[in-house]
């Protein structure tokens, strides 16, 4: 079989499974999810053995310590996968949700109803726990999943996929074999082959670095919802509560710097800069943050930095404005008000999460309206852009796209809709 034939067979099996999944009731899906959780715990040793082989191969191949850590499935992470599946089982079923209902003058009743998307391809990198997390969410929303993890995690991913399918089948005789499948070849050509099958694949969600996402977008013929980088920003307006501004900037940068909803740039209204910047810088330096500042901010902060041993202050370069540091580094820029802040964010940001701190309602409304991002905050930290924090229970990631889903993608965002039309013999005149 050629690679293209293999992918076609995989995708056809997924399409058939998606069709079969429309016949599973909510309770039946939940029973499968709970069985998956139980079996992951029961088979922890089998998972760990496969994972150890992956880790040994990874070490031989010279993977970095950070990558090896992401690859690792220890007891805590295995328990985390099981817990995640149980949490998904406990969430309300997103399928069948009535989105809108209208009755037309001719009596035709239209019900816009949430339905599964169908077949979803998930492409991800080294973390094998994504296998269970993504498959569980997609399954709960009635979708068949084709998983394509990193080649360094292939043994762990194979065992996890086998366990999910075995558990599903043990819990329901109607669990379709093709509901969760792994692309088991590591051949990179599998991705374009799979993403050319527009008849059988409804959506691709790539999760990972910029290179991966770009490559997927370039080759895909099926719709892609990108979970792109988070270049998030916070703007401290001239009418901000300064104490709140410092607190939120510190939270948005430092509470967990390695995630996509942490900020990378702090914009400060010139009117407030001389008072605000030294105060904010002191709090940020205390937490070890390096500041990369534009000329004006640099001039304001230089004296303070020289007084404070260890304070990191360097000039910002053009490429810094669009950088996702995922680290204790923060750009600082002075702007001439809310319009300039909006323009900077729309130009250099990644349309993920951005915040304004102000007491001025007009400025806030302008910012909320004109910043072109998935989540726009007024007087709150950007760190809340997250399925759990948004009350979705769980998420498959944060979409930086606008079509299909934007922001955290939970169960509802893993559904499409269709129009169910109820008549009593209506014909068109």
DSSP string across 118-176: -EEEEE--S-THHHHHHHHHHHHTT-EEEEE--GGGHHHHHHHHHHHHHHHHHH-TT--
Binding to a copy of itself (CB under 8 A) within 3-22 occurs at 19, 22
What span, in angstroms and rounded, lies between the C-alpha atoms of 113 and 325? Answer: 41
Of 218, 258, 310, 319, the one binding a copy of itself (CB under 8 A) is 218
Q: Which of residues 77-116 bind a copy of itself (CB under 8 A)?
A: 102, 104, 108, 110
Residues 348-377 that bind a copy of itself (CB under 8 A): 368-370, 372-377
Q: Which residues are CB-neighbours of 296 under 8 A, at least 6 positions away?
A: 270, 273, 334
Instruction: Select from 67, 329, 390, 393 the one that contacts a copy of itself (CB under 8 A).
Output: 390
Helix (H) or strand (E) holding 429: none
Helix (H, G, I), strand (E, B) or coil at 359: coil
CA nearest neighbour of 292 among 262, 327, 246, 258: 327
Does position 217 interact with a copy of itself (CB under 8 A)? The reply is yes
Q: Which residue has the tokens 């710097």?
A: 257
DSSP code, position 322: G
Tokens 């940020």 belong to residue = 284
The nearer residue to a copy of itself, 57 or 241, going by C-beta atoms, is 241
Minimal distance, residue 314 CB to a copy of itself, in Å: 27
* C-alpha to C-alpha distances, 306 to 128, 266, 376, nearest whole angstrom: 46, 21, 35
The interface with a copy of itself within residues 244-303 (CB under 8 A) comprises 244, 247-248, 251-252, 255-256
Q: Which of 49, 83, 221, 302 binds a copy of itself (CB under 8 A)?
A: 221
- Distance between CA atoms of residues 38 and 83, nearest Å: 9
Q: Name which of 318 and 424 has its Cβ closer to a copy of itself.
A: 424
400 binds a copy of itself, rule: CB under 8 A: no
Residue count at the site for a copy of itself (CB under 8 A)?
66
Among 78, 224, 233, 293, binds a copy of itself (CB under 8 A): 224
Minimum CB distance to a copy of itself smaller for 39 or for 229: 229
**Two tokens, residue 39:** 């079996």
Residue 182 burial class via C-beta count within 10 angstroms: exposed 0-12, middle 13-18, buried 19 and up: buried
Binding segment for a copy of itself (CB under 8 A), chosen from 34-42, 79-87, 158-166, 381-389, is: 381-389
Minimum CB distance to a copy of itself, residue 409 (Å): 12
Sole binder of a copy of itself in the list 297, 385, 400, 410 (CB under 8 A) = 385
Q: Residue 76: which residues within 8 A CB-CB, separation 6 or more?
A: none
Cα gap 334→307, rounded to integer Å = 22
Contact positions vs a copy of itself (CB under 8 A): 19, 22-23, 102, 104, 108, 110, 117-118, 198, 202-203, 217-218, 221, 223-225, 241, 244, 247-248, 251-252, 255-256, 346, 368-370, 372-381, 383-385, 389-391, 401-404, 406-407, 416-429
């Amino acid at each position: 079989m050629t690679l293209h034939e293999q992918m076609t067979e995989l995708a056809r099996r997924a399409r058939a499974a998606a069709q079969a999944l429309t016949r599973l009731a909510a309770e039946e899906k939940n029973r499968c999810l709970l069985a998956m959780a139980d079996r992951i715990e029961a088979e922890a040793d089998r998972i760990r053995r496969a994972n150890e082989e992956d880790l040994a191969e990874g070490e031989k191949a010279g993977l970095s310590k950070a990558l090896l850590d992401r690859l690792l499935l220890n007891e805590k992470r295995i328990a985390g996968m099981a817990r995640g599946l149980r949490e998904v089982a406990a969430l309300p079923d997103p399928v069948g949700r009535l989105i809108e209902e209208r009755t037309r003058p001719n009596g035709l009743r239209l019900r816009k109803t949430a339905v599964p998307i169908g077949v979803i391809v998930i492409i991800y990198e080294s973390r094998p726990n994504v296998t269970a997390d993504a498959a569980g969410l997609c399954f709960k929303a009635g979708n068949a999943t084709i998983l394509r993890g990193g080649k360094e995690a292939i043994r762990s991913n194979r065992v996890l996929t086998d366990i999910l399918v075995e558990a599903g089948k043990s819990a329901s005789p109607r669990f379709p074999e093709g509901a969760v499948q792994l692309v088991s070849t590591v051949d990179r050509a599998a991705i374009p082959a799979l993403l050319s099958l527009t008849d059988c694949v409804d959506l691709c969600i790539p999760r990972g670095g910029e290179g991966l996402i770009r490559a997927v977008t370039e080759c895909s013929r099926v719709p892609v919802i990108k979970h792109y980088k988070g270049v998030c920003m916070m703007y401290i307006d001239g009418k901000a509560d300064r104490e709140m501004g410092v607190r939120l900037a510190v939270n948005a940068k430092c509470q967990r710097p390695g995630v996509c909803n942490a900020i990378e740039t702090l914009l400060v209204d010139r009117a407030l800069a001389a008072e605000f910047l030294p105060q904010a810088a002191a709090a940020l330096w205390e937490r070890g943050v390096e500041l990369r500042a534009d000329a004006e901010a640099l001039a304001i902060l230089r004296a303070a930095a020289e007084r404070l041993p260890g304070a990191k202050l360097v000039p910002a370069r053009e490429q810094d404005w669009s950088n996702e540091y995922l680290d204790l580094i923060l750009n600082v820029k002075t702007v001439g008000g809310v319009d300039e802040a909006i323009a900077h964010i729309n130009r250099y940001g990644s349309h993920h999460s951005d915040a304004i701190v102000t007491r001025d309602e007009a400025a806030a409304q302008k910012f909320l309206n004109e910043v072109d991002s998935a989540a726009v905050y007024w007087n709150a930290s950007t760190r809340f852009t997250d399925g759990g924090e948004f009350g979705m229970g769980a998420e498959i990631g944060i979409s930086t796209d606008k079509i299909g889903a934007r922001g955290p993608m939970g169960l509802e965002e893993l559904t499409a809709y269709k129009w169910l039309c109820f008549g009593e013999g209506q014909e068109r005149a």
